C-alpha cells in the first residue's frame, strides 16, 4: 500500500530525474545514414530495439515525431508519460500478433507515413526473443524495419525481466543502426523476418 501511495510522486519525479541523468550521457552513432536515407525519402519504417535498451534510445530520439507502441500494463503508463513530455506519440497495446488493437494502430500509423518504434520482446518477455507482431505490422504496411542497438560503456542493470539498462552518469553510449530489413510478402516471409530481426538485434547490442 505504501508503494502504491508513492506511485503518483514517482510518476512526476521520474522524467526530471531521467532528464538530469541523460544530460550527462554522450552518444556515438554508427550507421545513421540508413535512417537519414529513409527520412529524406519520406518513407515510413519501424524501429526495433530490445526492451532493455529503451531508456538511452528514448532520450536520443526525443522530439523526432516517433510513434511508440506502449503496453497497457501499469509500467507502460510511466513510459507513456515520459514519451508525451518528450514529443512522442503513442499507441497502447502489445507486440503480440493477432488482432491486437496496438498492432492495428501501428499499421494505421505506418500507412499514414509515421515512423514507429517497437520493442519486439516486450512488454513482459521472454527477454531478447523476437515476437512476430512488429514484423507482421511492417509486412502488412509494406515498410522496412530498422534495427538499432545501444551499448553503454558503463551501466547499471536492474533486476527486472529484461535486466533494464540504465547508463551511468557521464558514460558514452555506442548507438548503431542496422541496414533496413525488408519483409517479403510470401508465406514464409514473416518467419524469415523474425529471424533476421533477431540476428540483427543480437549483433548490434553485442559488446565488442
Task: Identify the CATH number of the domain in which residue 121 sits.
Answer: 3.40.1130.10
Strand-pairing partners, residue 122, are none
Whether the pLDDT of residue 197 is over 80: the answer is: yes
Band of residue 122 on the pLDDT scale cut at 50, 70, 90: confident
Which pTM does this prediction carry?
Answer: 0.88
Position 94 scores a pLDDT of: 56
**Which structural domain, as residue segments, surrounds residue 141?**
2-205
Say what percent of the chain tops pLDDT 90.
66
Q: Are 12 and 82 in contact (CB under 8 A)?
A: no
Give CA–CA dist 149/49, Å, rounded: 6
**Region 146-163 average pLDDT:** 95
* Structural domain count of the chain: 1
Q: What is the DSSP letter of 53?
A: G
pLDDT tens, residue by residue, 42-100: 999 999 999 999 999 999 999 999 999 876 655 556 677 777 888 898 886 655 544 45
Q: Are 150 and 22 in contact (CB under 8 A)?
A: no
Give CA–CA dist 206/204, Å, rounded: 6
Please report, for residues 4, 7, 58, 78, 201, the alpha-carbon distance to residue 11 in angstroms, rounded to integers and kept in the order given: 11, 6, 17, 6, 30
Give CA–CA dist 82/134, Å, rounded: 22
Say what percent of the chain tops pLDDT 70.
83
Q: Are 69 and 155 in contact (CB under 8 A)?
A: no
Amino acid at each position: 500500500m505504501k508503494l502504491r501511495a508513492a506511485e503518483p510522486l514517482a510518476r512526476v519525479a521520474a522524467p526530471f530525474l531521467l532528464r538530469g541523468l541523460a544530460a550527462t550521457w554522450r552518444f556515438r552513432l554508427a550507421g545513421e545514414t540508413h535512417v537519414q536515407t529513409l527520412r529524406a525519402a519520406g518513407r515510413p519504417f519501424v524501429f526495433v530495439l530490445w526492451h532493455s535498451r529503451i531508456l538511452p534510445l528514448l532520450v536520443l530520439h526525443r522530439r523526432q515525431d516517433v510513434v511508440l507502441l506502449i503496453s497497457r500494463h501499469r509500467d507502460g503508463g510511466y513510459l507513456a508519460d515520459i514519451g508525451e513530455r518528450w514529443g512522442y506519440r503513442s499507441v497502447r497495446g502489445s507486440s503480440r500478433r493477432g488482432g491486437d488493437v496496438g498492432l492495428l494502430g501501428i499499421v494505421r500509423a505506418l500507412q499514414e507515413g509515421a515512423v514507429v518504434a517497437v520493442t519486439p520482446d516486450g512488454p513482459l518477455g521472454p527477454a531478447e526473443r523476437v515476437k512476430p507482431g512488429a514484423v507482421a505490422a511492417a509486412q502488412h504496411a509494406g515498410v522496412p524495419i530498422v534495427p538499432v542497438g545501444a551499448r553503454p560503456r558503463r551501466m547499471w542493470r536492474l533486476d527486472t525481466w529484461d535486466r533494464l539498462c540504465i547508463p551511468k552518469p557521464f558514460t558514452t553510449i555506442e548507438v548503431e543502426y542496422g541496414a533496413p530489413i525488408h519483409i517479403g510478402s510470401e508465406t514464409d516471409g514473416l518467419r524469415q523476418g523474425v529471424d533476421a530481426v533477431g540476428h540483427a538485434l543480437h549483433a548490434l547490442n553485442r559488446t565488442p
